[in-house]
Amino acid sequence: MSKIIKIGATIKKYLRYNYKLKIGFALIVTLVFLALIETPINYVRFGESDPLRTGAFGRYLPPSIEHPLGTDLVGRDMLSMILEGLKNSLLLGVEVGTISMIIGTVVAIISGYKGGLYDTILRTLTDSILVLPSWLIFVILTLYMRLESIHSFSLILAIFNWPWVARTIRAQTLAIKKLPYIDLAKMSGLRDLEIIFGEILPNLLPYVIVGFANALMGAILAESGVRMIGLGPSTLITLGLIIYWSMNWGVLSLKMYHIIVPPILLLVTIFASLNLLNIGLEEQFNPRIKKITGL
Amino acid sequence: MVKVLVEISKPVLYYLVRRIIIYVVQVFVILTVIFFLFRLMPGDPLTLYFLMMQQRYGYVISGTSEIIAKYKEIFGLDKDLFTQYVCYMRELILHGNLGVSFLSFPDPAQKLILEALPWTIGLLGISTIISWVIGLIAGTLIGWYREKKTSTFLFTLSLYMSQAPYYYFAILLVLFFGYFLGVLPTGYAFSPGITPSLNIAFLWDLIVHGFLPSLSIIVISACGWIISTRSLVILILGEDYLAFAEAKGLKKRRILNRYVLRNILLPQSTGLGMSLGFIFSGSFLVEWIFRYPGIGSLFIKAINSLDYNTAFGIVIISSIAVLTANLIIDLIYPFIDPRVTYTSS
């Protein structure tokens, strides 16, 4: 319990002066909150019936009190579609981010800390996956494997994403290994694992979070890219799918801006907030930049 | 020529030769990995293709399984995996033959790809270089004059726009310039009815048609370069030699040109190599939106008509292109940066 309070106090201390971090953090928290309240809001508005089944309401209804964002071509309520899309996109991003963060950090720490043969093998593996054109392979896999569930998507995206995380963290591990207190810890007889968890990992934490945010953005981008071609399961509603559908229905010539503007706005907000978080974290924790910007 | 050879010292030569050997090994390993990745995938391209044709064109042929078996025998897909691998590699390396494309039947896939490749290289090459130059110059200025309001405004703008996918911006540009204003064409590489020849009218037509696709790539890439260059400039500003130069009394402009810019160019050049792969995959949808006849549109057309050989060939060619670009940058690096040592590590 006291650890949670300590973490909260640390976050608050870092957030107080750094505006970029504050705004980025606030935006991300708002988006996650919106995604989490989707089921209660649906229950409150519609009771037990599913607002996402085809033909639930009339077609192309204009925005009103009952449907704040109107309905679409086949009669689904747009607000619940957009909230469901936000939830699925964020869920996909979080899964990809977590898996690639764990795999990437483990590989990078082993490769950076142990060095030698482990380093050579793991670095060759990382570089080889980095070179592959991952989006193309992802498109072909989606086409031929007929992926249905969100977990298979996240697994494949994470396989292509972890080398990016591993690359940054390995560079950081090498830099931290040269610091004097690592030698001090070795001389005082700490075992390898204790050094990794006690000394190296806390210094890596900002970079791990940056890696997580980048993996999230990359996953959402790759998935919307695949949607734009028309591939992917149509039972899994994500923001990219809503944008593809609205472009296909020609909503811009129908002047139905309430259908296409919210998902694009949400996507841009996700990207902007994660970018702000990344830049804010780097300004806060990179000591040379911190000296210049004076935070 | 002899002078150049004499000036290259022995460690550099060993480094270059080793790098080229690593490149050949990498190309081979990547080809093998992609080949086995796709052959081991569940789902059979030929069966899917027949099913798609039946669904789309509405008639059912009896005896489909015999037809599929016959085609498998023709394409060599019924032998075991290792024989398939050897045959494919032999065709690829010795003859440059990527297989027959389903999309345009008698034409082999490499004919389609080689027709589309120059368009993509032109578009991407020009866009990448222009965005790199603009991003570097703007990023240096933004980092150097950090206190001014314009710098903060431009930096925040780049922050928001740098992670947007290229195709979102492309859609906005097409809407604004193509439909609302109507001044720029919305698709294809040159207008129908103009014969391609090397005169000014055709070249101007090419430029006008290529303006919007390259603009969407240039603006978004430049924002990314601005952000990384600004961080680099801020890092360099803390160095001691800059304080010494200022104490010596050098003018600010001279410090900027001689000390800061040179130190920025090196990491950003290697970054250029790494970003080529990223721009490649991002530009496919831009080409599709503008119907620009490059590799991107070809890939998406092949995907939509389930043309396995062409899609596979494009994956192979883009991997080789990224590897080659990185090789070229690694080869030029010793001539740019005199500080790097080339001991075997």
Do B322 and A131 make contact, defined as CB atoms within 8 angstroms?
Answer: yes
* CA A24 from centroid of its chain's CA atoms: 13
Cα B170 from Cα B214, distance rounded (Å): 9
Inter-chain touch B160–A271, beta carbons under 8 Å: yes
Q: Tell me how close the Cα of B5 comes to any Cα of chain A, in angstroms.
A: 31
Contact flag A132-B319 (C-beta cutoff 8 Å): yes
Give the pLDDT confidence of B184-233 residue by residue, as tens digits.
777 777 777 777 777 888 888 888 888 888 999 999 999 989 988 888 88
Contact across the interface for B281 and A139, Cβ inside 8 Å: no
CB contact under 8 A, A128 and B300: no
Q: What is the pLDDT of residue B208?
A: 86
Flag if A140 and B315 touch (Cβ within 8 Å). yes
Which residue out of A228, A251, A261 would a mutagenesis test of the B interface target, given it has the greatest number of B Cβ atoms within 10 Å? A228
Q: According to the model, what pLDDT value does residue A293 have?
A: 54
Q: How confident is the model at residue B344 (pLDDT cuts 50, 70, 90)?
A: very low
Cα B132-B134-B138 angle, rounded to 5 deg = 120
Mutation site for A-interface testing, chosen from B281, B291, B298 by largest number of A Cβ within 10 Å: B281
Inspect the interface and report whether the beta carbons of A137 and B37 lie closer than 8 Å.
Answer: yes
Which amino acid would we find at residue B31?
A: L
Question: What confidence tens digit (pLDDT) does each residue in B49-64 have?
Answer: 777 777 777 777 777 7
Q: Residue ranges of chain A with pLDDT lower than 50?
A: 294-295
Beta strands in B107-213 (DSSP E): none
Beta bridge partners of A77: A71
Contact between B322 and A271 using a beta-carbon 8 Å cutoff: no
Which of B43, B238, B315 shows the shortest C-beta gap to A137? B315
Distance between B199 CA and the closest CA of chain A, angstroms: 36
Q: Which residue of B has its CA nearest to A213?
A: B163
pLDDT of residue A95: 94
Residues from chain B contacting residue A140 (CB–CB below 8 Å): 38, 303, 311-312, 315
Nearest to A210 by CA among A109, A281, A130: A281
Q: What is the ipTM of this complex?
A: 0.79
Residues of A in contact with B168 (CB under 8 A): 264, 267
Do A221 and B165 make contact, defined as CB atoms within 8 angstroms?
Answer: yes
pLDDT tens figures, B234-293: 878 777 777 788 788 877 777 777 778 878 887 888 788 777 777 777 888 888 888 888
Decide if A228 contacts A244 (C-beta within 8 A). yes
Position B180 scores a pLDDT of 78
The per-residue pLDDT for B2 is 64
CB contact under 8 A, B163 and A217: yes
| Number of Cβ within a 10 Å radius of residue A1 | 5
Mean pLDDT, all residues of chain B: 80
- Comparing CA positions, the residue from A103, A97, A93 lying closest to residue A170 is A103
CA distance A73 to A4: 47
E strand or H helix at A76, and its extent?
none
Do residue A128 and residue B315 have CB atoms under 8 angstroms apart?
Answer: no
Which of B155, B159, B283 is best to mutate for the A interface (most A CBs within 10 A)? Answer: B159
Three-state DSSP at A70 gives coil
- Above 50 in pLDDT, residue B100? yes
Among B30, B303, B327, most A C-beta atoms within 10 A, so best to mutate, is B303
3-state SS class at A37:
coil
Cβ distance A134 to B303 less than 8 Å, yes or no, reads: no
Phi, psi angles (nearest 5°) of residue A77: -70, 130
B345 has pLDDT over 50: no
Residue B153: partners with Cβ closer than 8 Å, 6 or more residues away: none
Nearest to B220, CA basis, from B274, B266, B286:
B286
Looking at the predicted structure, is the pLDDT value of residue B141 above 50? yes
The shortest CB-CB distance from B314 to any of A132, A136, A291 is to: A136
CA distance A188 to chain B (A): 30
For residue A247, the chain B residues in CB contact (below 8 A) are 171
For residues A243 and A228, give the distance between their C-alpha atoms in angstroms, rounded to a whole number: 8
* Residues in A lying within 8 Å of B, measured between beta carbons: 128, 131-137, 139-141, 143-146, 217, 221, 224-225, 228-231, 247, 252, 264, 267-268, 271-272, 274-276, 279, 282, 288-289, 291-293
Count the Cβ atoms, other than its own, within 10 Å of residue B302.
24
The CA R_g of chain B, rounded to the nearest whole Å, is: 25
Asked if the Cβ–Cβ distance from B41 to A141 is below 8 Å, we say: yes
List, in sequence order, every residue forming a beta bridge with B100; answer none if it has no partner: B108
Percent of chain B whose predicted confidence (pLDDT) is above 70:
92
Closest by Cβ to A289, choosing from B41, B234, B303: B234
Q: Which of A144, A231, A242 to mutate to test the interface with B (most CBs of B within 10 A)?
A: A144
Tokens 């508005």, residue? A45
pLDDT in tens, B311-326: 888 888 888 888 888 8
Contact B168 A264 (CB under 8 A): yes
**Nearest-angstrom CA–CA distance, B112 and B98:** 10
Instruction: Name the residue of chain B whose CA is nearest to A223's CA.
Output: B165
Q: Is residue A200 within 8 Å of residue A109, measured between CB atoms?
A: yes
Residue B7 has pLDDT above 70, yes or no: no
Inspect the interface and report whether the beta carbons of B167 and A252 lie closer than 8 Å: no
CB pairs under 8 A between A and B: 102
Query: Among partner residues A228, A275, A292, which is closest to B234 by beta-carbon distance?
Result: A292
CA-to-CA distance for B33 and B336, rounded, in angstroms? 34
Tokens of residue B242, six digits: 């800059």
Q: Report CB contact under 8 Å: A132, B299.
A: no
Report yes or no: B342 and B24 within 8 Å, Cβ to Cβ.
no
* pLDDT the model gives residue A136: 86
Q: B72-92: per-residue pLDDT in tens?
A: 777 667 777 787 788 778 777
Of A140, A272, A292, which has the smallest distance from its Cβ to B38's Cβ? A140
Q: Which residues pair with A106 in a beta bridge?
A: none
User: Chain A residue closest to B274 (CA)?
Assistant: A131
Distance separating alpha carbons of residues A194 and A185, to the nearest angstrom: 9
Apex B97 CA angle, B94 and B99, nearest 5 = 140
